[in-house]
A and B are shown apart, each in its own frame.
Chain A
């Protein structure tokens, strides 16, 4: 009997050697006369278990992981392809793994289960059901569904998606655009990448529905060049969608039309800011535009444009298929639905954790994450990417909710959680935040362009113990100027990690104060 096994194929699994494992397993199986049907799935994104090999059985899928080359011999000896066998790496049924079981995977329901490029797999697990409904609905009804779901922009700004769509729907124009912001530049985030590498048809479906809702016939996915595998997978998926009449003209026999193309960025973090992204798509330097006019009214090539994050668009097929209420029933307060959190940095069990809004940050980091990877005490956590605040222990009980985080002076952003142990030097982290802004500022506003350079210099002086008190005062002042005087979030939020580090980890800034000569000159 041919036994089907799954070997993951996303960037992280490959980076951990999954391709080589697949090759070796194939060779060993044929040597030993075992008939294996090796299928490449995406990943479950339980990264401490990767490469996680799964075996299909009548009871479900049994998992083995993390599998290294050296484990293959014993796995074959244990006849791992039978599934429920004794082996040190045996994990039992994958669906029963606590980390996975405790999640509410709405957007990521299929991830890791399917072959990313199998239309059949996608359709078997509810794929294109939302689109089928959408093709029969009128645009206003579609926009209403998204409004009722309570979905807010998952890129970080959390703007209500339905309202954005309504604005574009109301704007009269010959040509409108759907632009997917896939410039996932925040460190500690990889949820967009997972969608694109492991379930690309979901994004395509979401974009087509968005097009139907607002009357746009052209879509662009603006993808960062740091994601070569996502680029390849998306292009293959788009070609398959065209070949199966899901893209192009008269979609599925309707009169609807939607074209889709992937465009590569070129290593500029600022192009994740929506107006900078539009400039870049137009073939220009990614300089931030002043708002208004909003991109929803004057967007790409001057036309009304929906700019949505990958996760926002990926949530749409579920909302259409299961209904707005099913989505809105999850969450708390004004944060409806789920957010895919990403546990990263120094974490024991890193990966993707999709949860309805509401649990505490500490539950995420300890119950799911299991604390630090190296076992040292956790000291600081940066949530929401390089522009997000560092949270000290006193804030770890904050609920995962946009408003609750805002109240603490922090941001949830794109859901990235980067954990640091007690060896971290927070003044060094603050310096990096400024240094990153020096490298990535588009240069349009002075507080961001020059302020960040001065910020690095001031922090260097503080770190070397030079006039610490007055330099801290200067840095505080500089941060305020950047927050108040910058056009976009780059300059406006770069101070968040700096200010939070100064407030909550002041000891790291003043530790050299006594060792150097302090000649205060005011």
Chain B
């Protein structure tokens, strides 16, 4: 989750990930994580392959994906920015931070900016509760995020150079 990437879905790669995990007891969650880590979301085509390999119905696989907030079925922006909404951050002003985030990015939660750069997501606690408000971008967590720091963070994400693969 640390680097922005645009790996397009490839059935053979997907199947090899599935094969790697399918023999584990309770394989579905680790498998879905691996697919999403690779492709940044869980494509519709993957669901059919997973269902066939784990001997589940597609409805069952879909049921699991839709139960968990972490899994997504649409490609997100280059960066997923998660703003903590939980009580400890509320006590330090996260409500105004979320309003600010939505208005500056011009998106609501679960939406992606028009330049496909940032997807905004809510998160319920990052365990950084003495130094909130907290924000997570990829695997990095940021403390004491006020509106200004949020803007700086977003700017740094905008100006990051993309490596051509």
Contact = CB atoms under 8 A, between A and B. Distances in A.
Interface of A: 11-12, 14-16, 47-48, 50, 184-190, 193, 225-229, 263-269, 280-286, 301, 342-347, 350-351, 373, 382, 386, 416, 418-421, 424, 429, 432, 436, 439-440, 442
Given A12-B128, A47-B131, A350-B130, A419 B67 contact: no
A268 B65 CA distance: 11
B51 interface: no
B26 A226 contact: no
A356 B30 CA distance: 38
Contact of A266 (B32, B90, B142, B144): B32
B1 interface: yes
Q: Which label, helix, strand, loop or mixed, suits the secondary structure of the B interface?
A: loop
A225 B33 CA distance: 10
16 contacts: A47-B131, A189-B129, A226-B136, A227-B127, A264-B30, A267-B70, A281-B29, A282-B25, A284-B28, A342-B130, A344-B91, A346-B91, A351-B130, A420-B91, A424-B91, A436-B124
A189 B131 contact: no
Contacts of B119: none
Leading 10 A-B pairs by shortest Cβ distance: A350-B130, A283-B28, A187-B86, A345-B91, A344-B129, A266-B68, A267-B70, A15-B143, A267-B69, A266-B70
Given A188-B87, A190-B127, 20 more contacts: A11-B126, A12-B128, A16-B131, A16-B144, A184-B127, A185-B125, A189-B129, A193-B127, A225-B33, A226-B126, A266-B71, A267-B68, A267-B69, A267-B70, A284-B64, A344-B88, A344-B132, A345-B92, A386-B87, A418-B91
Given A187-B88, A345-B87, A268 B68 contact: yes
A345 B89 CA distance: 6
Nearest to A440: B124
Contacts of A190: 127-130
B128 A15 contact: yes
B141 interface: yes
A75 B22 CA distance: 54
A128 to B, nearest CB: 27
B123 interface: yes
Contacts of A420: 90-91
A429 to B, nearest CB: 7
A54 B128 CA distance: 21
B160 interface: no
B163 interface: no
Contacts of B129: 187-190, 342, 344-345, 350, 416, 418
Given A15-B142, A263-B30, A187 B128 contact: no
A11 B141 contact: yes
Nearest to A227: B127
Contact of A282 (B26, B69, B87, B91): B26
Contacts of A228: 1, 139
A259 to B, nearest CB: 11
B115 to A, nearest CB: 26
Nearest to A17: B143
A216 to B, nearest CB: 14
A268 B33 CA distance: 14
A346 B32 CA distance: 37
Contacts of B128: 11-12, 15, 190
B27 interface: yes
B67 A285 contact: yes
Contacts of A186: 125
Interface string B111-129: 0000000000001111111
Nearest to B122: A439
B142 A264 contact: no
Contacts of A351: 130
A344 B144 CA distance: 13
B102 to A, nearest CB: 16
Contacts of B32: 266
Contact of B64 (A267, A285, A432): A285
A273 B68 CA distance: 15
Contact of A16 (B63, B91, B143): B143
A226 B128 CA distance: 11
Interface in B37-83: 54, 63-64, 67-71
A455 B144 CA distance: 32
Contacts of B67: 268, 285-286, 442
Contacts of B28: 283-284
B131 A12 contact: yes
A280 to B, nearest CB: 6
Contact of B87 (A50, A267, A432): A432
Nearest to A278: B26
A346 B133 CA distance: 10
A190 to B, nearest CB: 4
A381 to B, nearest CB: 10
A43 B63 CA distance: 40
Contacts of A47: 130-131
Nearest to B126: A226
B123 A346 contact: no
B1 A226 contact: no
Contacts of A283: 26-29, 54, 64
Nearest to A193: B127
A246 B63 CA distance: 38
Contacts of A342: 129-130
Contacts of A343: 130
A152 B33 CA distance: 33
Count chain A CB atoms within 10 A of each CB in B69, B123, B136 and give the residue with the most. Answer: B69
B131 A15 contact: yes
Contacts of B26: 263, 281-283, 301
Count chain A CB atoms within 10 A of each CB in B87, B123, B127 and give the residue with the most. Answer: B127
B143 A264 contact: no
